[in-house]
Amino acid sequence: MSGLYVICEARGEEFRPATYELLAVARAITAATDGEVTAVVAGPEVALKSKLEGLAHRVLALTAPELTPFSADSWVDALATAIEAGSPRAVLFGEGGRTREVMPRLAARLGAWALSNCVDLRVSGAAAAGAGSVEAGDSGATGGAADGAALEVSRPVYGGKAYVTNLVPADGLLLAAFRPHSFDAGMAPAGLTTAVEEVAAPVAASRVELVERREGGPRKADLTEAAVVVTGGRGMKGPENFGLLEDLAAALEGAVGYSRALVDAGLAEHAFQVGKSGKTVSPTLYIACGVSGAIHHIMGMDTAKVVVAINIDPTAPIFEYADYGVVGDVLQVLPALTEQVRAATS
Protein backbone atom coordinates (compact mmCIF):
# COMPACT_ATOMS: atom_id res chain seq x y z
CA MET A 1 0.00 0.00 0.00
CA SER A 2 1.36 3.39 -0.86
CA GLY A 3 0.28 6.88 -1.74
CA LEU A 4 -2.98 8.70 -1.25
CA TYR A 5 -5.95 8.98 -3.60
CA VAL A 6 -8.12 12.11 -3.60
CA ILE A 7 -11.58 11.82 -5.15
CA CYS A 8 -12.05 15.12 -6.97
CA GLU A 9 -15.63 16.36 -7.09
CA ALA A 10 -16.85 19.29 -9.15
CA ARG A 11 -19.85 21.58 -9.10
CA GLY A 12 -20.49 22.56 -12.69
CA GLU A 13 -17.27 23.64 -14.34
CA GLU A 14 -15.25 24.02 -11.14
CA PHE A 15 -13.89 21.56 -8.63
CA ARG A 16 -15.27 22.00 -5.11
CA PRO A 17 -12.87 23.97 -2.88
CA ALA A 18 -12.63 20.84 -0.69
CA THR A 19 -10.87 19.07 -3.58
CA TYR A 20 -7.97 21.55 -3.42
CA GLU A 21 -7.85 21.32 0.40
CA LEU A 22 -7.62 17.51 0.26
CA LEU A 23 -4.95 17.61 -2.43
CA ALA A 24 -2.92 19.97 -0.23
CA VAL A 25 -3.05 17.75 2.85
CA ALA A 26 -2.33 14.67 0.73
CA ARG A 27 0.75 16.38 -0.71
CA ALA A 28 1.92 17.35 2.77
CA ILE A 29 1.51 13.80 4.08
CA THR A 30 3.29 12.17 1.17
CA ALA A 31 6.03 14.81 0.96
CA ALA A 32 8.47 12.89 3.12
CA THR A 33 7.73 9.49 1.63
CA ASP A 34 7.92 7.76 -1.68
CA GLY A 35 4.14 7.79 -1.81
CA GLU A 36 2.37 9.76 -4.50
CA VAL A 37 -0.82 11.76 -4.59
CA THR A 38 -3.31 10.55 -7.18
CA ALA A 39 -6.19 12.86 -8.08
CA VAL A 40 -9.07 10.66 -9.21
CA VAL A 41 -11.68 12.04 -11.62
CA ALA A 42 -14.55 10.07 -13.05
CA GLY A 43 -17.45 10.64 -15.42
CA PRO A 44 -18.25 14.33 -15.90
CA GLU A 45 -15.18 15.50 -13.98
CA VAL A 46 -12.83 13.92 -16.53
CA ALA A 47 -13.36 16.98 -18.75
CA LEU A 48 -11.89 19.17 -15.99
CA LYS A 49 -8.73 17.13 -15.42
CA SER A 50 -6.39 19.81 -16.79
CA LYS A 51 -7.30 21.99 -13.76
CA LEU A 52 -5.46 19.47 -11.56
CA GLU A 53 -2.13 19.78 -13.31
CA GLY A 54 0.65 20.62 -10.88
CA LEU A 55 -1.47 19.70 -7.86
CA ALA A 56 -0.94 15.93 -7.78
CA HIS A 57 1.70 13.48 -9.01
CA ARG A 58 -0.88 11.74 -11.15
CA VAL A 59 -4.39 12.27 -12.43
CA LEU A 60 -6.33 9.06 -12.84
CA ALA A 61 -9.27 9.66 -15.18
CA LEU A 62 -11.89 6.92 -15.09
CA THR A 63 -14.08 6.83 -18.17
CA ALA A 64 -17.21 4.83 -18.96
CA PRO A 65 -20.56 5.95 -20.38
CA GLU A 66 -22.29 4.67 -17.21
CA LEU A 67 -20.42 7.19 -15.05
CA THR A 68 -22.34 10.15 -16.51
CA PRO A 69 -24.68 11.21 -15.01
CA PHE A 70 -23.61 10.13 -11.55
CA SER A 71 -24.85 6.71 -10.45
CA ALA A 72 -23.61 5.27 -7.15
CA ASP A 73 -23.57 1.68 -8.49
CA SER A 74 -21.34 2.53 -11.43
CA TRP A 75 -19.07 4.82 -9.45
CA VAL A 76 -18.50 2.13 -6.81
CA ASP A 77 -17.57 -0.35 -9.55
CA ALA A 78 -15.13 2.06 -11.17
CA LEU A 79 -13.53 3.29 -7.95
CA ALA A 80 -13.27 -0.19 -6.41
CA THR A 81 -11.35 -1.45 -9.43
CA ALA A 82 -9.05 1.58 -9.44
CA ILE A 83 -8.35 1.33 -5.71
CA GLU A 84 -7.65 -2.40 -5.90
CA ALA A 85 -5.27 -1.82 -8.79
CA GLY A 86 -3.42 1.11 -7.23
CA SER A 87 -3.49 -0.10 -3.62
CA PRO A 88 -3.33 3.37 -2.01
CA ARG A 89 -2.83 3.85 1.71
CA ALA A 90 -5.93 6.04 1.98
CA VAL A 91 -8.67 7.52 -0.20
CA LEU A 92 -9.84 11.02 0.73
CA PHE A 93 -13.34 12.33 -0.10
CA GLY A 94 -15.04 15.68 0.51
CA GLU A 95 -18.21 15.38 2.64
CA GLY A 96 -21.36 15.55 0.54
CA GLY A 97 -24.31 13.66 -0.86
CA ARG A 98 -22.31 11.78 -3.47
CA THR A 99 -19.70 10.72 -0.93
CA ARG A 100 -22.43 9.49 1.44
CA GLU A 101 -23.74 7.25 -1.35
CA VAL A 102 -20.42 5.93 -2.55
CA MET A 103 -18.02 5.67 0.38
CA PRO A 104 -19.88 3.17 2.61
CA ARG A 105 -20.52 0.83 -0.34
CA LEU A 106 -16.88 1.04 -1.36
CA ALA A 107 -15.79 0.28 2.20
CA ALA A 108 -18.02 -2.80 2.31
CA ARG A 109 -16.74 -3.96 -1.09
CA LEU A 110 -13.08 -3.45 -0.18
CA GLY A 111 -13.17 -4.33 3.52
CA ALA A 112 -11.80 -0.88 4.30
CA TRP A 113 -12.08 1.57 7.18
CA ALA A 114 -14.75 4.20 6.49
CA LEU A 115 -14.77 7.39 8.57
CA SER A 116 -17.04 10.32 7.83
CA ASN A 117 -17.34 13.85 9.19
CA CYS A 118 -13.56 14.03 9.64
CA VAL A 119 -11.68 17.28 10.28
CA ASP A 120 -8.05 16.24 10.55
CA LEU A 121 -5.64 13.68 9.13
CA ARG A 122 -2.06 13.10 10.11
CA VAL A 123 0.61 10.46 10.28
CA SER A 124 0.59 8.95 13.77
CA GLY A 125 2.84 10.90 16.07
CA ALA A 126 2.95 14.02 13.87
CA ALA A 127 1.43 17.35 14.91
CA ALA A 128 -2.17 18.08 13.92
CA ALA A 129 -2.57 19.42 10.40
CA GLY A 130 -6.21 20.47 10.43
CA ALA A 131 -6.82 24.13 9.67
CA GLY A 132 -3.09 24.62 9.53
CA SER A 133 -1.05 25.66 6.58
CA VAL A 134 -0.14 22.55 4.69
CA GLU A 135 2.09 22.78 1.69
CA ALA A 136 4.00 20.21 -0.27
CA GLY A 137 7.39 19.78 1.25
CA ASP A 138 6.22 20.88 4.69
CA SER A 139 7.21 17.68 6.38
CA GLY A 140 7.25 19.34 9.78
CA ALA A 141 3.47 19.30 10.17
CA THR A 142 2.36 16.08 8.68
CA GLY A 143 5.26 14.39 7.01
CA GLY A 144 6.48 11.02 8.12
CA ALA A 145 6.42 7.48 6.96
CA ALA A 146 2.83 7.60 5.74
CA ASP A 147 3.15 4.23 4.07
CA GLY A 148 4.67 2.48 7.07
CA ALA A 149 2.94 4.22 9.96
CA ALA A 150 -0.56 4.39 11.31
CA LEU A 151 -2.76 7.30 10.28
CA GLU A 152 -4.74 9.37 12.77
CA VAL A 153 -8.10 10.77 11.77
CA SER A 154 -10.04 13.16 14.02
CA ARG A 155 -13.78 13.79 14.13
CA PRO A 156 -16.00 15.90 16.41
CA VAL A 157 -18.45 14.07 18.68
CA TYR A 158 -21.11 15.11 21.22
CA GLY A 159 -22.00 18.26 19.30
CA GLY A 160 -18.39 19.34 19.06
CA LYS A 161 -17.72 19.08 22.80
CA ALA A 162 -15.01 16.49 22.18
CA TYR A 163 -12.92 15.09 19.34
CA VAL A 164 -12.31 11.41 18.81
CA THR A 165 -9.13 10.29 17.08
CA ASN A 166 -9.19 7.01 15.18
CA LEU A 167 -5.88 5.23 14.72
CA VAL A 168 -5.87 3.41 11.39
CA PRO A 169 -3.13 0.74 11.32
CA ALA A 170 -0.50 0.80 8.60
CA ASP A 171 -1.99 -2.22 6.85
CA GLY A 172 -5.55 -0.82 6.89
CA LEU A 173 -7.07 0.82 3.82
CA LEU A 174 -8.67 4.08 4.97
CA LEU A 175 -11.60 5.77 3.23
CA ALA A 176 -12.28 9.11 4.92
CA ALA A 177 -14.67 11.97 4.19
CA PHE A 178 -13.65 15.43 5.37
CA ARG A 179 -15.72 18.49 6.13
CA PRO A 180 -15.04 21.52 3.92
CA HIS A 181 -12.46 23.94 5.37
CA SER A 182 -10.70 21.18 7.33
CA PHE A 183 -7.41 22.08 5.67
CA ASP A 184 -5.82 25.07 4.04
CA ALA A 185 -5.59 24.65 0.26
CA GLY A 186 -2.31 26.58 0.37
CA MET A 187 -0.37 27.54 -2.72
CA ALA A 188 0.14 25.25 -5.70
CA PRO A 189 3.54 23.59 -5.24
CA ALA A 190 6.33 24.65 -7.56
CA GLY A 191 7.58 22.18 -10.13
CA LEU A 192 5.22 19.27 -9.53
CA THR A 193 4.73 17.40 -12.80
CA THR A 194 1.43 15.61 -13.17
CA ALA A 195 1.12 12.44 -15.22
CA VAL A 196 -2.33 11.88 -16.68
CA GLU A 197 -3.63 8.35 -17.06
CA GLU A 198 -6.97 7.64 -18.68
CA VAL A 199 -8.52 4.27 -17.89
CA ALA A 200 -11.66 2.75 -19.36
CA ALA A 201 -13.37 1.65 -16.15
CA PRO A 202 -15.05 -1.76 -16.08
CA VAL A 203 -18.55 -0.88 -14.93
CA ALA A 204 -21.58 -3.14 -14.59
CA ALA A 205 -24.92 -1.71 -15.64
CA SER A 206 -26.48 0.32 -12.82
CA ARG A 207 -29.45 -1.20 -10.99
CA VAL A 208 -30.91 2.29 -10.78
CA GLU A 209 -32.63 3.92 -13.72
CA LEU A 210 -32.59 7.71 -13.82
CA VAL A 211 -36.13 8.64 -14.84
CA GLU A 212 -36.01 12.39 -14.60
CA ARG A 213 -33.68 15.09 -13.38
CA ARG A 214 -35.13 18.37 -12.11
CA GLU A 215 -32.89 21.34 -11.53
CA GLY A 216 -33.63 23.44 -8.44
CA GLY A 217 -34.21 27.17 -8.55
CA PRO A 218 -31.44 29.68 -9.08
CA ARG A 219 -28.42 28.52 -7.14
CA LYS A 220 -27.64 30.46 -4.00
CA ALA A 221 -24.22 30.43 -2.39
CA ASP A 222 -23.51 26.90 -1.16
CA LEU A 223 -23.85 26.75 2.62
CA THR A 224 -21.51 23.82 3.11
CA GLU A 225 -18.68 25.38 1.10
CA ALA A 226 -19.07 28.98 2.28
CA ALA A 227 -16.23 30.51 4.29
CA VAL A 228 -18.73 32.77 6.07
CA VAL A 229 -22.22 31.70 7.17
CA VAL A 230 -24.76 34.14 8.64
CA THR A 231 -27.59 32.18 10.27
CA GLY A 232 -30.93 33.49 11.44
CA GLY A 233 -33.03 31.94 14.19
CA ARG A 234 -36.45 32.58 15.66
CA GLY A 235 -35.10 35.85 17.08
CA MET A 236 -35.23 37.25 13.52
CA LYS A 237 -39.04 37.28 14.03
CA GLY A 238 -40.12 36.88 10.39
CA PRO A 239 -39.10 36.87 6.72
CA GLU A 240 -39.51 40.64 6.53
CA ASN A 241 -36.19 40.82 8.43
CA PHE A 242 -34.28 38.15 6.48
CA GLY A 243 -32.87 40.85 4.21
CA LEU A 244 -30.73 41.90 7.19
CA LEU A 245 -29.07 38.46 7.13
CA GLU A 246 -28.61 38.61 3.36
CA ASP A 247 -27.08 42.09 3.55
CA LEU A 248 -24.47 41.00 6.09
CA ALA A 249 -23.75 37.77 4.19
CA ALA A 250 -23.32 39.74 0.96
CA ALA A 251 -20.96 42.21 2.64
CA LEU A 252 -18.84 39.28 3.86
CA GLU A 253 -19.24 37.27 0.63
CA GLY A 254 -20.91 34.52 2.62
CA ALA A 255 -24.07 32.44 2.62
CA VAL A 256 -27.27 32.60 4.70
CA GLY A 257 -28.52 29.74 6.85
CA TYR A 258 -31.54 29.28 9.10
CA SER A 259 -32.36 27.41 12.29
CA ARG A 260 -34.91 24.64 12.22
CA ALA A 261 -37.39 26.83 14.11
CA LEU A 262 -37.71 29.02 11.00
CA VAL A 263 -37.76 26.06 8.61
CA ASP A 264 -40.45 24.25 10.62
CA ALA A 265 -42.50 27.46 10.63
CA GLY A 266 -42.40 27.40 6.82
CA LEU A 267 -40.40 30.63 6.69
CA ALA A 268 -37.18 29.21 5.20
CA GLU A 269 -36.26 26.30 2.93
CA HIS A 270 -34.90 23.11 4.45
CA ALA A 271 -31.99 23.28 1.99
CA PHE A 272 -30.65 26.18 4.07
CA GLN A 273 -31.21 24.70 7.52
CA VAL A 274 -28.10 24.33 9.67
CA GLY A 275 -28.00 21.55 12.22
CA LYS A 276 -28.39 17.88 12.96
CA SER A 277 -31.32 17.43 10.60
CA GLY A 278 -30.03 20.04 8.14
CA LYS A 279 -26.66 20.97 6.68
CA THR A 280 -23.33 20.60 8.43
CA VAL A 281 -21.23 23.70 7.90
CA SER A 282 -17.63 24.33 8.80
CA PRO A 283 -16.94 27.95 7.87
CA THR A 284 -14.13 30.20 8.96
CA LEU A 285 -16.70 32.60 10.43
CA TYR A 286 -20.20 31.70 11.69
CA ILE A 287 -22.56 34.47 12.82
CA ALA A 288 -25.61 33.21 14.73
CA CYS A 289 -28.37 35.83 14.84
CA GLY A 290 -31.24 35.23 17.25
CA VAL A 291 -30.32 31.54 17.55
CA SER A 292 -30.59 30.02 21.05
CA GLY A 293 -27.86 27.41 20.55
CA ALA A 294 -29.83 24.18 21.03
CA ILE A 295 -27.57 21.12 20.78
CA HIS A 296 -29.23 20.02 17.52
CA HIS A 297 -28.23 23.33 15.97
CA ILE A 298 -24.71 23.25 17.41
CA MET A 299 -24.15 19.80 15.86
CA GLY A 300 -24.31 21.41 12.43
CA MET A 301 -21.76 24.18 13.04
CA ASP A 302 -19.50 23.00 15.85
CA THR A 303 -16.36 23.02 13.75
CA ALA A 304 -16.71 26.65 12.65
CA LYS A 305 -13.38 28.35 13.31
CA VAL A 306 -14.80 31.57 14.80
CA VAL A 307 -18.36 31.90 16.12
CA VAL A 308 -20.10 35.23 16.70
CA ALA A 309 -23.46 35.23 18.48
CA ILE A 310 -26.01 38.03 18.63
CA ASN A 311 -28.76 37.36 21.15
CA ILE A 312 -30.92 39.48 23.39
CA ASP A 313 -30.65 36.96 26.23
CA PRO A 314 -27.23 36.94 27.93
CA THR A 315 -27.90 33.42 29.25
CA ALA A 316 -28.59 31.91 25.80
CA PRO A 317 -26.56 28.66 25.37
CA ILE A 318 -25.11 29.91 22.06
CA PHE A 319 -22.78 32.17 24.05
CA GLU A 320 -21.06 29.06 25.45
CA TYR A 321 -19.91 28.23 21.93
CA ALA A 322 -19.23 31.79 20.78
CA ASP A 323 -15.82 33.38 20.50
CA TYR A 324 -17.47 36.79 20.37
CA GLY A 325 -20.91 37.68 21.69
CA VAL A 326 -23.17 40.69 21.32
CA VAL A 327 -26.05 40.95 23.81
CA GLY A 328 -28.62 42.96 21.93
CA ASP A 329 -31.54 43.05 19.53
CA VAL A 330 -30.55 41.50 16.18
CA LEU A 331 -32.80 43.90 14.36
CA GLN A 332 -30.65 46.76 15.60
CA VAL A 333 -27.25 45.06 15.75
CA LEU A 334 -27.32 43.56 12.23
CA PRO A 335 -27.73 46.82 10.24
CA ALA A 336 -25.01 48.47 12.33
CA LEU A 337 -22.67 45.50 11.86
CA THR A 338 -23.28 45.39 8.11
CA GLU A 339 -22.54 49.10 7.86
CA GLN A 340 -19.25 48.62 9.71
CA VAL A 341 -18.27 45.69 7.50
CA ARG A 342 -19.08 47.64 4.34
CA ALA A 343 -17.07 50.60 5.60
CA ALA A 344 -14.12 48.37 6.44
CA THR A 345 -14.14 46.50 3.13
CA SER A 346 -14.97 49.27 0.64
Residues near ligand FAD (CB under 6 A) are: 233-235, 259-261, 273-278, 290-292, 294, 296-297, 300, 310-313, 316, 329-331
Q: By beta-carbon distance, which residue lies closest to ligand FAD?
A: 275
How far is Cα 8 from Cα 241, in angstroms, rounded to an integer? 38
Nearer to ligand FAD, 54 or 238 (CB): 238
Alpha helices in the chain (DSSP H): 17-30, 72-86, 97-110, 242-251, 260-264, 295-298, 318-321, 330-345
How far is Cα 303 from Cα 232, in angstroms, rounded to an integer? 18
Supply the minimum distance, in Å, between the C-beta of residue 69 and ligand FAD: 29
Nearer to ligand FAD, 182 or 259 (CB): 259
3-class SS of residue 199: strand
Q: 130-154 burial, b if ≥16 CB within 10 A, otherwise e?
A: bbbebbbebbebbbbebbebbbbbb
Supply the minimum distance, in Å, between the C-beta of residue 177 and ligand FAD: 19
Supply the minimum distance, in Å, between the C-beta of residue 66 and ligand FAD: 35
Of 271, 272, 281, residue with least CA distance to 232: 272
Nearer to ligand FAD, 79 or 309 (CB): 309
Cβ(153)–Cβ(177) below 8 Å? no
| CA dist 149 → 34, 123, 144, 174, 180 (Å) | 13, 7, 8, 13, 26
Supply the minimum distance, in Å, between the C-beta of residue 235 and ligand FAD: 3
Supply the minimum distance, in Å, between the C-beta of residue 328 and ligand FAD: 7
Counting every residue written for the chain, the total comes to 346
Nearer to ligand FAD, 323 or 329 (CB): 329
**Residues β-bridged to residue 177:** 93
Cβ(80)–Cβ(199) below 8 Å? no
Supply the minimum distance, in Å, between the C-beta of residue 236 and ligand FAD: 8
Supply the minimum distance, in Å, between the C-beta of residue 255 and ligand FAD: 15
